[in-house]
Structure 1
């Protein structure tokens, strides 16, 4: 059996954790049923992403983009559970099979247990924001630690576990924070952030997915997201302009004067991020999270009986 995950060319820890999470949850799964694809963490129930042929075992995946694949053939699709009730409704499953995002079980791995709380507050942006934004500088100015979601997944997760508070634009930043019992605040920099998948997960643990709006930090970020920056609408920007702007933003080294100018332009982002770090955070109830995890473990036990 082989795990499937969506692979960003930039890296994204919420998807990349599929590379090792299932070895912890289903030891030995790689050695059996070579014809089966394990479809796990991520918004991957998308006809354009998954291969048409072959058997699939779905464990906690979500819908949120594009078109659902035709999953009616139960000889090809073994859907044990999905990420949440919204995905369950789209797939045509009972709501109780929208259990939770399997990423929450990362917190049960011994290598992440009892991490020291060495970081007071950190910001985890969406990977698209990290590509073209000025967020490390914005965080430094606002007094927050910056966690790059494109980093090696285990390193990113350790940093989340070591925080006292998380400000999350990355949904898996919030999911992992909640799993580690770290209070969190949801934020969003643009309408591109997928509210469906946030509501899907939030419905499983009884939290409010409403995000505070944070202004975009750079012109390049606005171009990449087709958004507005300092009164200019970049919705119709060409792909060439996007590539050029992102290249300029990520180029190094920057002159001190140019960086200072960018900091001035990012001042609204800095203020809003600072305010978010002082907003009332949230955390799911211990009993609710435990109940969902127990249900997911029960599903995994059934998979072990049937496949291993």
Structure 2
């Protein structure tokens, strides 16, 4: 991956999905915004593979890190997860779990799957974005309904768009830069409503107080992770196909009120880097 500076230091061991591809994925690439705006200095946990966001607590990921470490003759290598989540309710095997440091997880479902204590901090780090980034108006989405498909699934169909007012579709396949992530945040924060088939489009909308819905689209990637996210603040949200149904559900459930009760201070207190002074 390209080197990123955190207060003058280069975090060599930070991982996020699709980081080495020409186009990344918005939610995972938010790692770069966190590195640029939330943290400073070097990592407080040397000799760890660092994971700051996303559904990366997987058997495949742990095996890949430990396999690479073994080839390098490193028997002490560990994985660190901060605010990340699982894609399913399965536990990691004993060896993998022993080599992981969990500083906080995305939701109750991940915490339970891993057998972590109830004092483990909860919350997706994208909920912290309003503390570190102030969006500007995005002319393409301002006042419009924004549809964000998952990177693996298709754009909205005429049936999805039936009855939807002025709308725009933006795919989350974006260059792996903090600036491109921030422009996508601008687009979400400027919208009147967000239909999200990509989970972090929903999370960012919620963080900035924009009405949103989980959109079923042409498929749902890892339903567990969506339920895990909302379990952190005690609500369950259904998936919707049309804007009319989604809007009615949002007005009925008001997840913005529930998430306002989620205290992210415990997650910040265990951050793997020093926080910038303004926080």
| Matching of residue 118 in structure 1 with residue 142 in structure 2 | yes
Residue 115 of structure 1 and its aligned partner are, at CA, apart by: 7.8
User: Cα deviations across residues 252-285 of structure 1 (Å, max 9, x unaligned)?
Assistant: xxxxxxxxxxxxxxxxxxxxx3434643325434
> Cα gap change, 1:84/1:96 in structure 2, threshold over 3 Å: closer, same or farther?
farther
2:195 is matched with: 167
1:17 is matched with: 30
Residue 78 of structure 1 and its aligned partner are, at CA, apart by: 2.0
Root mean square deviation of aligned Cα: 3.4
Higher relative contact order (CA 8 A, sep 6+): 2
Q: Would you say the 8 A contact 1:5–1:39 is kept in 2?
A: yes
- Residues 15-164 of structure 1 mapped to structure 2, 5 A cutoff: 15-29=28-42, 34-50=46-62, 51-52=65-66, 53=69, 54-65=77-88, 69-70=92-93, 76-97=99-120, 99-112=122-135, 118-130=142-154, 133=155, 142=164, 143-151=166-174, 152-164=180-192
TM-score (norm 1): 0.66
1:204 is matched with: 232
2:18 is matched with: 7
Q: Would you say the 8 A contact 1:178–1:283 is kept in 2?
A: no
Q: Would you say the 8 A contact 2:88–2:225 is kept in 1?
A: no
TM-score (norm 2): 0.73
- Cα distance in 2 for partners of 1:138, 1:67 equals 33
Whose helix fraction is larger, Structure 1's or Structure 2's?
A: 1
Q: Which runs of 5+ in 2 are unaligned?
A: 1-10, 70-76, 175-179
Look up the SS of the partner of 2:60 in the other structure: coil
- Cα distance in 1 for partners of 2:42, 2:92 equals 24
Look up the SS of the partner of 2:24 in the other structure: coil
Q: Which runs of 5+ in 1 are unaligned?
A: 215-272
User: Cα deviations across residues 218-253 of structure 1 (Å, max 9, x unaligned)?
Assistant: xxxxxxxxxxxxxxxxxxxxxxxxxxxxxxxxxxxx
Q: Would you say the 8 A contact 2:138–2:186 is kept in 1?
A: yes
Residue 192 of structure 1 and its aligned partner are, at CA, apart by: 4.4
| Matching of residue 284 in structure 1 with residue 238 in structure 2 | no
Residue 92 of structure 1 and its aligned partner are, at CA, apart by: 0.8
